[in-house]
Structure 1
Amino acid sequence: MAKMVELVAEKHVEYIVSVEKKKDAFESVVMEHLRMNGAYWGLTTLDLLGKLQVVDQDEVIPWVIQCQHESGGFGGNIGHDPHILYTLSAVQILALFDKLHILDVAAVTNYIVGLQNEDGSFSGDMWGEVDTRFSYIAICCLSLLHQLDKIDVEKAVNYIVRCKNLDGGFGCNPGGESHAGQIFCCVGALAITGCLHHVDKDLLGWWLCERQVKSGGLNGRPEKLPDVCYSWWVLSSLIMIDRVHWIDKEKLANFILDCQDVEKGGISDRPDDAVDIYHTYFGVAGLSHLQYPGVKAIDPAYALPVDVVNRILIGS
């Protein structure tokens, strides 16, 4: 049997730090509007590798706070419009650094509460796009802030249940095609609200396990190519419904490790493609779920290291 490639953790740390420094590079310009998400992906990866201290939090924290709007929501960067996507990333970054106490929690809460619609769904921002991703984000964000009781949780859960399909999966809205990313959002929201009884765990578990292809990687829908990011979306969902033993973990770990740039660091969507911060995070997070040595445990519902979630929710 061929020797398994090792995780080049130090190279990944160097890669993440270098991405943050290259402000004028093409990738940075393209990512500028969602820098908050990029910061969350990079910083969480560093924490999972036990290296969060390499970042100067006195630079990061003021920048995060500057991205907050009068509405309470956060933009993807300074001067950009607020959106629920960036708001969760901002809260998660502050959580990593144990700085949630500096946040205007009431303003953030009011912003998210204002995005809940009459049918229980959530819009992403003032323009009104509705998606189960936003339901998950609202529930995750408010739970981390101990403000979940401020929305109509029952209506929110009922809307998510309406997005369940005959194959056991979930879509972005009622009738939408089942997709591994949306399944994570719906299962995560149901897990946080204590409503996983709405999930047909065997049926959904079967659908999710069918996402593993010959290479060991996972795809997001039938007939699609495998992609490292589904190591997170699919694995997290399987863990939350207690069916993770239904896939070949060793083959998946090998697939993720084969997507590394072992010389310059970073992880790509599939072997030999260009690396990026997004897939680096999801690759390392996937290895965390596979209990890879040297990678901290990550919470499958909150997408933060387990010790961070315990500190916030249990105070330990």
Structure 2
Amino acid sequence: MDFRLVRRLGHFLAVAEEGHFGRAAARLGISQPPLTAQIQALERELGVKLLERTGKGARPTREGEALIPLARRLAEGAGELEALARELRAGRAAPVAIACVTSALFDYLPPLVRALQAARPDAAVSVRELDTTDAVEALRRGEVDLALLRLDRDRPPVKLRALGRDVLAAALPSGHPLAESSAPLPLGQLADEPMLVLPRGISPAYSDAMVTACREAGFTPRVVREVGSAMAQLGFVAAGLGIALVSAGMARLRPPGVAFRELEGPIHAVGVALAWNAERESEATRLALDFAEMLFPGG
């Protein structure tokens, strides 16, 4: 990253936001002539005029307005990088960023995060709730260090360590005729039910497992709506808009208005895996894999 360019972009943003060279200079803690020189150097480097003077101050040109959103992102990114570098110089461990699918938030995420925090108390741990497809892309881009997701095989450079198998359960509106019994429910009894599903693009392996299970039970799911997350599925079920096949672990949430039935079988779905980018392995990655081996030995 060219920090000189980023610094000049920050100067440009200050003038654009203040609408005045003098006020921008005061905000930046420099005098006006060096500020003007920095803006001129930036304009020469980019080859476009960024600011024009007005009777009351200055305003961005059309080209300057177009560059402002990206300039802000670059300036913010540089600020975050410098802040992290200061923490590392002070001896603080690098932060750990984790992506997690909704259905892994309760069974798999808590013990893993607690173990990482105990081993590296000086490292911040952040968690982003993402679907499987977005989590894989975040790993590839280096936006997260680890991901808890539903995937059945490696997607180089993303590698997997299985944490546990999972089974499907039926989520039904509380007043549904099939909600009363506690006996395992034959999947074929849901053949005519309006079904709420996740788009295949969100979690292909999980979606394929659900469709395959229905076909093996002799029917094709009667999909009435695609929803954006597992939590949304439960919300729509509670509203009486359909039924859903979800991870059995979601029953632990006990959402009002939703009844869960174990499926006869049981019917296995794609389990949760710990994923990482093999090209970006770190100390946190290796620690997480060690903890996964101890916490989820049956994976």
TM-score (norm 1): 0.22
Which structure has more relative contact order (CA 8 Å, sep 6+)? It is 2
Whichever of the two has the greater Rg, that structure is 2
* More strand per residue: 2
TM-score (norm 2): 0.23
* More helix per residue: 1
